[in-house]
Amino acid sequence: MTGLSYGDAVAEVLKSEPMFETTTVEVDGVSFLAFKNIPQDLRALLQTSRAAQENGQAEYLVFEGQRLSYDAFCNDINKMAHVLQSRFEVLPRTRVAVAMSNRPEMLILMMAISSIGATCVFLNAWWTTEELRYALQDTDSKLIFTDTQRLERLKPLQEQLGLTLIGVDETQTDPSYVSLMRSETRSAWPTVDIDPDSDFAIMYSSGTTSDPKGVALTHRGAVNAVFTWLVQATIAPLINPPDDPNAEKPRPVTLITTPLFHVTATHPGFLLSLPAGAKVVLMYKWDAQTAVDLIETEGVTRFVGVPTQSADIQIAAKNSGKPLETLTQVVAGGAKRPPAQVSELAQAFPQAEIATGWGMTETNAIGIGLSGEDYVARPGAAGRLFPPLQEMMFLDEDGSPVALGSVGEMTVKSVCNMRTYLNKPIETSTAMQDGWFKTGDLGFIDDDGIITIVDRKKNIIIRGGENIACLDVEDALHQHPAILEACAFAIPHARLGEVVGAAVQTRPGMTLNHAELSNFLRDRIARFKTPEHLWVQTTPLPRGATDKIDRRALRKTCMANLSKKT
């Protein structure tokens, strides 16, 4: 059976599936396209997803020794919702914070808070006491649920900020999460009205400035993002029809490996699993061999992680002799996957669709993507704009659209976009106008609607008037067989203004020096793009909270070492 083209498949799904019918909504005076027949808030999403989860009987959440059915998961959410209302008098729009590493309680709290119209504040689990102070004051959060490690960082703030700290482990605090849940017997759904345009969450961007920005995300934005991904899943078999259309499909099983205070985990990982009828396997922290074992024992079909995690499981699977035959999708998000890695993954997991996705905290993680043969053929591309709700323009420095194929700042309009940067009106008005959000990413679109991201706008090295994209340099570096990961950045230069610097991690047992690398790159990138300063290490490059390489911290360390040499 011959598959449809991408455009024809989208048209067929939008025409034939009532779930994806669209309408126009007005939010803060701006008109947006939105899905007409979907749940309007996260509580309704939980309720309507029960049918997809074997009417609540399916095993839904797996975490270490814990296994919860969908009904049991929802019952725990509802019990905590009643605790929040009766014990702590949490009202709609009240902000309640969570500070912990990945564990089921974090998902239960996220949904319990949003199910009563309150707002879940996600605190970065890596933050110091002072960074936690900033976010708590920024959001005016007084009630915080926390694990042991974060509790110790929060205690110095308890009296100063008037905090109520609730430990998720039984002996941490009095009361504790465990004792509160044990004392609550009600498991009926809350009945409080929820405004679809109210904030379900405040999530902090990974940050390139001194203070992170609190991104206010609404129920409407999150749910419309979820159903946008469902459109992509529905069109996939129309483009690539299965060999046997009558064969029973395995139940989707998603492995969540990235932190739950980041949209990659909460949105295309957790929230999408609800209406998709998927089981969720949750990891406390990243470990490649543990991930491989879980993929095999739990029958994981979908892996979503940052590119280095894809590379990690490829190596771990090979070393342990496990082919991971249940995998049908290996998705990269949070950062661009090195093009050379795409074909390697396709060869390592021939039964799986290798995919990439681009989205931001500010867009509820929705955006663009590419998968399968299209991605293997264009490994440097980011993908197509996910239909049908989004619009995208590419703008020059003056805010005018650029010509087709020319590089401009990616600017997207969607009902999924954030409501605001919390308490930052200037930053909000700079980034958003009339529903359009300036992403800060530079890219271009071709005749086929394929978007290629050149770089972050702020990650341009200007060498003697020549603009150099850090990602362009990194793509070339990743082609060297000794390099496992790489990061490029600007180094000040008295004559040229800036030159290229790079730090790389070598593969086990392999070495690299500057002269060898320069010779290797001679025919791969222009000479002016070749790193003039190189730092080589055998350990992983430093990472931020979302497991992206921390370019700023790495550059600072390398610059300090350069200063010592001079």
Q: What is the pLDDT along the chain (566 residues), one digit of tens a residue?
A: 688 999 999 999 999 999 999 999 999 999 999 999 999 999 999 999 999 999 999 999 999 999 999 999 999 999 999 999 999 999 999 999 999 999 999 999 999 999 999 999 999 888 888 889 999 999 999 999 999 999 999 999 999 999 999 999 888 899 999 999 999 999 999 999 999 999 999 999 854 445 789 999 999 999 999 999 999 999 999 998 888 888 888 999 999 999 999 999 999 999 999 999 999 999 999 999 999 999 999 999 999 988 888 988 999 999 999 999 999 999 998 777 888 889 999 999 999 999 999 999 999 999 999 999 999 999 999 999 999 999 999 999 889 999 999 999 999 999 999 999 999 999 999 999 999 999 999 999 999 999 999 877 778 887 876 778 888 899 899 999 999 999 999 998 877 778 999 999 999 999 999 999 999 998 888 788 899 999 999 999 998 766 788 888 899 999 888 866 54
Q: For residue 500, give every residue at least 6 positions away whose Cβ sits within 8 Å of its Cβ, in sequence order, or none.
A: 461, 463, 468, 473, 488, 490, 491, 529, 530, 531, 532, 533
Angstrom distance (rounded) from CA 169 to CA 166: 9
| Signed CA dihedral, 433, 438, 444, 449: sign only | negative
Q: CA–CA separation, 140 vs 134, rounded Å?
A: 10
d(Cα 455, Cα 200) in Å, to the nearest integer? 31
pLDDT at 566: 45
| Architecture field, domain 42-54+68-217 | 3-Layer(aba) Sandwich (3.40)
Return d(Cα 66, Cα 52) in angstroms, integer: 22
Q: 71 near 58, Cβ under 8 Å? A: no
* 321 neighbors 361 (Cβ within 8 angstroms): no
3-state secondary structure of 211: coil
pLDDT value for 456: 75
Backbone angles phi, psi at 439, to 5 degrees: -80, -25
Q: What is the model's pTM?
A: 0.88
Burial class (CB in 10 A: 0-12, 13-18, 19+), 279: buried
| Cβ pair 385, 403 in contact under 8 A | no
Contact present, 118 and 84 (Cβ < 8 Å)? yes
The structure tokens listed for 320 are: 């342990």
Two tokens, residue 48: 């309507």
CA nearest to 413, candidates 375, 441, 374, 385: 385
Which tens digit of pLDDT belongs to each residue from 106-164? 999 999 999 999 999 999 888 888 889 999 999 999 999 999 999 999 999 999 999 99
Q: How many residues does the chain have?
A: 566
Question: What CATH class is the domain 460-565?
Answer: alpha beta
Q: Is 485 helix (H, G, I), strand (E, B) or coil?
A: strand
Dist. CA 472–CA 529, nearest whole Å: 8
Residue type, 369: G
**Structural contact between residues 302 and 253, judged by C-beta atoms closer than 8 angstroms:** yes
Go through 360-387 and write b for each residue having 16 or more CB atoms within 10 A of its CB, e for each that does not: bbbbbbbbbbbbbebbbebbbbbbbbbb
pLDDT value at residue 460? 80
State the Cα–Cα distance between residues 504 and 478, nearest whole angstrom. 9
pLDDT tens for 287-338 read 999 999 999 999 999 999 888 889 889 999 999 999 999 999 999 987 778 8
Residues 6+ apart with CB under 8 A from 390: 228, 366, 367, 412, 413, 414, 416
User: What's CA 130's distance to the chain center, in Å?
Assistant: 25
Place of tokens 């730092």: 535
Instruction: Kindly write down the DSSP assignment for every residue of 397-416, as one continuous string.
Output: TTSPBPPTTS-EEEEEE-TT
The domain ranges of the chain are: 42-54+68-217, 460-565
Nearest by Cα to 442 from 474, 486, 406: 406
Q: 22 exposed, middle or buried (CB, 10 Å; 0-12, 13-18, 19+)?
A: middle
Question: 62 near 282, Cβ under 8 Å?
Answer: yes
